[in-house]
Protein backbone atom coordinates (compact mmCIF):
# COMPACT_ATOMS: atom_id res chain seq x y z
CA UNK A 1 0.00 0.00 0.00
CA UNK A 2 1.26 3.46 -0.88
CA UNK A 3 2.73 5.58 1.89
CA UNK A 4 0.92 8.61 0.49
CA UNK A 5 -1.67 10.13 2.81
CA UNK A 6 -4.26 12.44 1.36
CA UNK A 7 -4.12 15.73 3.27
CA UNK A 8 -7.27 17.60 4.20
CA UNK A 9 -5.97 20.55 2.19
CA UNK A 10 -5.69 18.47 -0.98
CA UNK A 11 -9.03 16.77 -0.30
CA UNK A 12 -10.69 20.19 0.00
CA UNK A 13 -9.15 21.35 -3.28
CA UNK A 14 -10.25 18.22 -5.11
CA UNK A 15 -13.81 18.61 -3.86
CA UNK A 16 -13.96 21.77 -5.96
CA UNK A 17 -12.76 20.28 -9.26
CA UNK A 18 -14.43 18.11 -11.88
CA UNK A 19 -13.60 14.76 -13.42
CA UNK A 20 -13.26 16.61 -16.74
CA UNK A 21 -10.50 18.85 -15.38
CA UNK A 22 -8.73 15.90 -13.80
CA UNK A 23 -8.92 13.95 -17.05
CA UNK A 24 -7.31 16.85 -18.94
CA UNK A 25 -4.58 17.33 -16.34
CA UNK A 26 -3.72 13.62 -16.40
CA UNK A 27 -3.78 13.58 -20.21
CA UNK A 28 -1.16 16.36 -20.18
CA UNK A 29 1.02 13.89 -18.29
CA UNK A 30 0.39 11.10 -20.79
CA UNK A 31 -2.21 9.25 -18.70
CA UNK A 32 -5.18 8.36 -20.90
CA UNK A 33 -6.89 5.49 -19.08
CA UNK A 34 -7.78 6.84 -15.63
CA UNK A 35 -11.54 7.22 -16.12
CA UNK A 36 -13.60 4.35 -14.73
CA UNK A 37 -15.59 3.27 -17.77
CA UNK A 38 -19.23 2.27 -17.53
CA UNK A 39 -20.08 3.42 -14.00
CA UNK A 40 -22.62 6.06 -13.02
CA UNK A 41 -23.85 7.50 -9.72
CA UNK A 42 -26.44 5.30 -8.05
CA UNK A 43 -28.03 8.66 -7.26
CA UNK A 44 -26.44 12.05 -8.08
CA UNK A 45 -25.12 13.83 -4.99
CA UNK A 46 -24.46 17.54 -4.33
CA UNK A 47 -20.93 16.73 -3.16
CA UNK A 48 -17.87 15.48 -5.01
CA UNK A 49 -16.54 12.12 -3.85
CA UNK A 50 -12.86 12.29 -2.87
CA UNK A 51 -10.92 9.59 -1.04
CA UNK A 52 -8.09 7.14 -1.32
CA UNK A 53 -8.78 3.72 -2.77
CA UNK A 54 -9.25 0.62 -0.64
CA UNK A 55 -9.73 -2.21 -3.11
CA UNK A 56 -11.61 -5.50 -3.36
CA UNK A 57 -11.05 -7.92 -6.24
CA UNK A 58 -13.64 -10.43 -7.44
CA UNK A 59 -12.98 -13.42 -9.69
CA UNK A 60 -15.56 -15.62 -11.45
CA UNK A 61 -17.37 -17.74 -8.89
CA UNK A 62 -16.76 -21.47 -8.94
CA UNK A 63 -19.91 -23.21 -7.76
CA UNK A 64 -18.29 -25.55 -5.25
CA UNK A 65 -16.58 -22.63 -3.52
CA UNK A 66 -19.50 -20.22 -3.32
CA UNK A 67 -22.63 -21.71 -1.76
CA UNK A 68 -24.78 -19.35 0.31
CA UNK A 69 -23.19 -20.75 3.47
CA UNK A 70 -19.86 -18.99 2.79
CA UNK A 71 -21.40 -15.84 4.27
CA UNK A 72 -21.20 -17.60 7.65
CA UNK A 73 -17.40 -17.40 7.40
CA UNK A 74 -16.15 -14.40 9.45
CA UNK A 75 -13.18 -14.15 7.09
CA UNK A 76 -15.30 -13.74 3.96
CA UNK A 77 -13.39 -11.14 1.93
CA UNK A 78 -16.40 -9.03 0.98
CA UNK A 79 -17.45 -8.60 4.60
CA UNK A 80 -13.87 -8.08 5.78
CA UNK A 81 -13.35 -5.36 3.18
CA UNK A 82 -16.42 -3.49 4.43
CA UNK A 83 -15.23 -3.72 8.03
CA UNK A 84 -11.66 -2.67 7.22
CA UNK A 85 -12.04 0.11 4.67
CA UNK A 86 -10.46 3.08 6.49
CA UNK A 87 -12.43 6.20 7.31
CA UNK A 88 -12.28 8.73 4.48
CA UNK A 89 -11.37 6.06 1.90
CA UNK A 90 -13.36 4.77 -1.06
CA UNK A 91 -14.08 1.05 -1.41
CA UNK A 92 -13.32 0.23 -5.06
CA UNK A 93 -14.48 -3.13 -6.40
CA UNK A 94 -13.22 -5.00 -9.45
CA UNK A 95 -16.03 -7.18 -10.80
CA UNK A 96 -14.53 -7.55 -14.27
CA UNK A 97 -17.31 -5.25 -15.58
CA UNK A 98 -19.80 -8.09 -15.02
CA UNK A 99 -22.99 -6.51 -13.71
CA UNK A 100 -25.20 -9.61 -13.91
CA UNK A 101 -24.85 -10.04 -10.15
CA UNK A 102 -24.47 -7.60 -7.28
CA UNK A 103 -21.12 -6.75 -5.72
CA UNK A 104 -22.80 -5.27 -2.63
CA UNK A 105 -26.20 -4.26 -1.30
CA UNK A 106 -27.68 -1.54 0.85
CA UNK A 107 -26.80 -3.17 4.20
CA UNK A 108 -23.10 -3.44 3.41
CA UNK A 109 -22.96 -0.01 1.80
CA UNK A 110 -24.83 1.52 4.73
CA UNK A 111 -22.24 -0.04 7.04
CA UNK A 112 -19.51 1.59 4.94
CA UNK A 113 -21.22 4.94 5.27
CA UNK A 114 -21.65 4.54 9.03
CA UNK A 115 -17.95 3.72 9.33
CA UNK A 116 -17.07 7.01 7.62
CA UNK A 117 -16.11 5.84 4.14
CA UNK A 118 -15.96 8.56 1.49
CA UNK A 119 -17.72 6.44 -1.13
CA UNK A 120 -17.96 3.16 -3.00
CA UNK A 121 -17.26 2.33 -6.66
CA UNK A 122 -18.04 -0.94 -8.46
CA UNK A 123 -17.77 -1.80 -12.14
CA UNK A 124 -20.40 -4.48 -11.47
CA UNK A 125 -23.95 -4.36 -10.18
CA UNK A 126 -25.43 -3.47 -6.80
CA UNK A 127 -28.66 -4.67 -5.25
CA UNK A 128 -31.05 -2.49 -3.24
CA UNK A 129 -30.08 0.48 -5.41
CA UNK A 130 -32.86 2.65 -4.02
CA UNK A 131 -31.56 2.23 -0.47
CA UNK A 132 -27.99 2.93 -1.54
CA UNK A 133 -29.10 5.99 -3.46
CA UNK A 134 -30.81 7.37 -0.35
CA UNK A 135 -27.52 7.47 1.57
CA UNK A 136 -25.55 10.72 1.78
CA UNK A 137 -22.37 8.84 0.82
CA UNK A 138 -21.69 8.81 -2.95
CA UNK A 139 -21.89 5.43 -4.69
CA UNK A 140 -21.10 4.46 -8.28
CA UNK A 141 -22.02 1.27 -10.12
CA UNK A 142 -22.73 -0.20 -13.54
CA UNK A 143 -26.44 -0.95 -12.99
CA UNK A 144 -28.91 -2.44 -10.49
CA UNK A 145 -28.66 -6.21 -10.13
CA UNK A 146 -30.68 -8.34 -7.73
CA UNK A 147 -28.72 -11.68 -7.71
CA UNK A 148 -26.24 -12.09 -4.87
CA UNK A 149 -22.56 -11.79 -5.75
CA UNK A 150 -22.14 -15.51 -4.98
CA UNK A 151 -23.94 -16.45 -8.19
CA UNK A 152 -21.16 -15.02 -10.35
CA UNK A 153 -18.42 -13.45 -8.22
CA UNK A 154 -16.01 -14.63 -5.55
CA UNK A 155 -14.40 -11.96 -3.38
CA UNK A 156 -10.81 -13.11 -3.47
CA UNK A 157 -8.35 -10.34 -2.48
CA UNK A 158 -8.32 -7.12 -0.49
CA UNK A 159 -6.24 -3.97 -1.05
CA UNK A 160 -4.37 -5.16 -4.10
CA UNK A 161 -3.95 -3.53 -7.53
CA UNK A 162 -7.14 -3.95 -9.54
CA UNK A 163 -8.88 -2.91 -12.73
CA UNK A 164 -12.14 -1.03 -12.23
CA UNK A 165 -13.96 -0.20 -15.44
CA UNK A 166 -10.66 -0.74 -17.31
CA UNK A 167 -8.87 1.86 -15.17
CA UNK A 168 -5.85 0.70 -13.15
CA UNK A 169 -6.40 1.32 -9.45
CA UNK A 170 -3.65 0.90 -6.88
CA UNK A 171 -4.34 0.99 -3.15
CA UNK A 172 -4.01 4.58 -1.99
CA UNK A 173 -4.76 6.16 -5.38
CA UNK A 174 -7.20 9.06 -5.08
CA UNK A 175 -10.72 8.49 -6.41
CA UNK A 176 -12.68 11.55 -7.53
CA UNK A 177 -16.33 11.17 -8.49
CA UNK A 178 -18.91 13.66 -9.75
CA UNK A 179 -22.04 13.53 -11.88
CA UNK A 180 -20.04 12.42 -14.93
CA UNK A 181 -18.33 9.45 -13.29
CA UNK A 182 -15.08 8.60 -11.52
CA UNK A 183 -11.43 9.44 -12.17
CA UNK A 184 -8.45 7.62 -10.63
CA UNK A 185 -5.60 9.95 -9.68
CA UNK A 186 -2.26 8.18 -9.08
CA UNK A 187 -1.32 8.91 -5.49
CA UNK A 188 2.01 10.56 -6.28
CA UNK A 189 0.25 13.11 -8.52
CA UNK A 190 -2.69 13.98 -6.28
CA UNK A 191 -1.32 17.16 -4.70
CA UNK A 192 -0.16 18.75 -7.95
CA UNK A 193 -3.30 17.68 -9.84
CA UNK A 194 -5.45 19.30 -7.15
CA UNK A 195 -3.65 22.63 -7.46
CA UNK A 196 -3.56 22.60 -11.26
CA UNK A 197 -7.22 21.69 -11.57
CA UNK A 198 -8.30 24.48 -9.22
CA UNK A 199 -6.64 26.92 -11.61
CA UNK A 200 -8.31 25.20 -14.57
CA UNK A 201 -11.72 25.50 -12.92
CA UNK A 202 -11.08 29.18 -12.25
CA UNK A 203 -10.23 29.89 -15.88
CA UNK A 204 -13.15 27.86 -17.18
CA UNK A 205 -15.57 29.80 -14.96
CA UNK A 206 -14.17 32.97 -16.50
CA UNK A 207 -14.55 31.52 -20.00
CA UNK A 208 -18.14 30.47 -19.39
CA UNK A 209 -18.97 33.94 -18.15
CA UNK A 210 -17.43 35.44 -21.30
CA UNK A 211 -19.30 33.01 -23.57
CA UNK A 212 -22.57 33.81 -21.83
CA UNK A 213 -21.90 37.46 -22.70
CA UNK A 214 -21.43 36.62 -26.37
CA UNK A 215 -17.67 36.02 -26.65
CA UNK A 216 -16.33 33.58 -29.24
CA UNK A 217 -14.09 30.73 -28.15
CA UNK A 218 -11.18 31.18 -30.59
CA UNK A 219 -8.31 32.67 -28.66
CA UNK A 220 -10.32 32.34 -25.45
CA UNK A 221 -10.53 28.57 -25.01
CA UNK A 222 -7.73 27.61 -24.94
CA UNK A 223 -6.17 30.92 -23.92
CA UNK A 224 -4.01 31.93 -26.89
CA UNK A 225 -4.94 35.61 -27.04
CA UNK A 226 -3.02 37.99 -24.76
CA UNK A 227 -6.05 40.26 -24.49
CA UNK A 228 -8.11 37.43 -23.00
CA UNK A 229 -5.36 36.61 -20.54
CA UNK A 230 -5.34 40.24 -19.44
CA UNK A 231 -9.13 40.12 -19.01
CA UNK A 232 -8.76 36.96 -16.97
CA UNK A 233 -6.18 38.57 -14.68
CA UNK A 234 -8.57 41.46 -14.05
CA UNK A 235 -11.44 39.02 -13.45
CA UNK A 236 -9.36 37.14 -10.88
CA UNK A 237 -8.56 40.36 -9.03
CA UNK A 238 -12.24 41.27 -8.97
CA UNK A 239 -13.54 37.84 -7.92
CA UNK A 240 -10.71 36.63 -5.71
CA UNK A 241 -10.42 33.51 -7.89
**Is the pTM of the predicted complex or chain greater than 0.75?**
yes
Residue 63 has pLDDT above 60, yes or no: yes
Across the chain, mean pLDDT equals 96
Residue 181 CB: number of other CB atoms within 10 A?
20
Q: If pLDDT is split at 50, 70 and 90, which confidence band does 241 have?
A: confident
| Beta strand segments in the chain, E | 40-41, 49-60, 89-94, 119-122, 125-126, 139-141, 143-144, 153-158, 162-164, 167-169, 174-178, 181-185
| Beta strand segments in 151-222, E | 153-158, 162-164, 167-169, 174-178, 181-185
Q: What is the pLDDT of residues 139-183, one digit of tens each?
A: 999 999 999 999 999 999 999 999 999 999 999 999 999 999 999
> Could you check whether the bond before residue 210 is cis, i.e. omega within 30 degrees of 0?
no
Do residues 162 and 57 touch, judged by C-beta distance below 8 A? yes
Residue 138 CA to its chain's centroid (Å) = 9
Q: Beta strands 153-158 and 139-141: pairing type?
A: unpaired
Q: What is the pLDDT of residues 75-128, one digit of tens each?
A: 999 999 999 999 999 999 999 999 999 999 999 999 999 999 999 999 999 999
Residue 9 has pLDDT above 80, yes or no: yes
DSSP secondary-structure letter at 17?
A: S
Q: What is the pLDDT of residues 176-218, one digit of tens each?
A: 999 999 999 999 999 999 999 999 999 899 999 999 999 999 9
Do residues 61 and 163 touch, judged by C-beta distance below 8 A? no
Amino acid sequence: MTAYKLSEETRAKLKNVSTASVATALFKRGLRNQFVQGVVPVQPKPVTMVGQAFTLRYIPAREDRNPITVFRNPDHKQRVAVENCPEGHVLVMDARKDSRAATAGSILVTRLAKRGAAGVVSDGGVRDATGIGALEMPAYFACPSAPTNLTLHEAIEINCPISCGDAPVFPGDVMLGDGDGVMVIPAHLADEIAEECLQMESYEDFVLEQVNHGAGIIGLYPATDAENLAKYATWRDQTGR
